[in-house]
Structure 1
Amino acid sequence: MNGTRRNIRIGKRRTSVKLEPEMWDALIEICVRTKKNINQICTEVHNANNGKPTDDDVSGANFTSELRVFILGYYRAIAR
């Protein structure tokens, strides 16, 4: 995968996420549209998909997939 790794926070936990540049651009655009920062969006995505407090285990590969699905879902909802 050709991607860029960035450090983010999910709740109080720091982790890194590797996404393609286009996905990072899309996520930043979502942040601008929703007036939230990347850490807030990532925490919301994690909590929505796991139903756990943010200090629980954060699995990098699974979370990256969840983030991609969130980005796709966001833009699909706009397209409808």
Structure 2
Amino acid sequence: MSGQDSRASNAPSPLSAIPLVARTVKLFGHPTQLRLEPSYWEALDDICHREDLTVDELCSDLKDRLDSQSRRSRGVAVSLANAVRVFIVGYYRKAATEKGHDRAGHGRGDPFVSTPFDLPPAQPAKEG
């Protein structure tokens, strides 16, 4: 990391709440368009790197598991994009530790600290 405060730039960070981005993934070899927020694409890429999988492999496995759950529960169909988001949150929640939360500054009354919605410190008002 460069050590610079990422909030100093006017360009949106990859973790900003910005519109969905479409990418084509191959589910069992068949091209399928998937639309996710950039932060989810980044997380999915990170998870795949850590697990030594391609995005196509992970999404195909997730789709297979999603279809299996749907058949067993006879429930309402869930979109793959929604399943990917739930998977990513679950993956990171399982990895979250108290030590990690403490390092991130969580638990101090500001749930937005160290998130894409963390606001830069207020600038003191200039006296006129």
TM-score, normalised to structure 2's length? 0.53
Give how far 1:3 is off. Answer: 1.1
Relative contact order, higher structure (CA 8 A, sep 6+): 1
Between the aligned residues of both structures, percent identity stands at: 29
* Higher share in strand: 1
Residue identity opposite 1:6 in structure 2 = R
**Which residue, out of 59, 66, 85, partners 1:49?**
66
**Which residue, out of 31, 50, 59, partners 2:48?**
31
Aligned Cα RMSD in Å? 1.8
Q: Quick one: distance in 2 between partners of 1:72 and 1:44?
A: 17
Deviations 1:26-75 (A, max 9, x none): 000001110000000001110111129xxxxxxxx711101111111110
Correspondence for 1:70? 87
Q: Quick one: distance in 1 between partners of 2:25 and 2:62?
A: 13
Q: Quick one: distance in 2 between partners of 1:12 and 1:32?
A: 20
The unaligned stretches of length 5 or more in structure 2 are: 1-17, 70-77, 98-128
Which stretches of structure 1, 4 residues or longer, exceed 6 Å deviation after superposition?
none
TM-score, normalised to structure 1's length? 0.82
Structure with the greater alpha carbon radius of gyration: 2
Q: How many residues align?
A: 72
What secondary structure sits across from 1:51 in the alignment? helix
Give how far 1:12 is off. Answer: 2.1
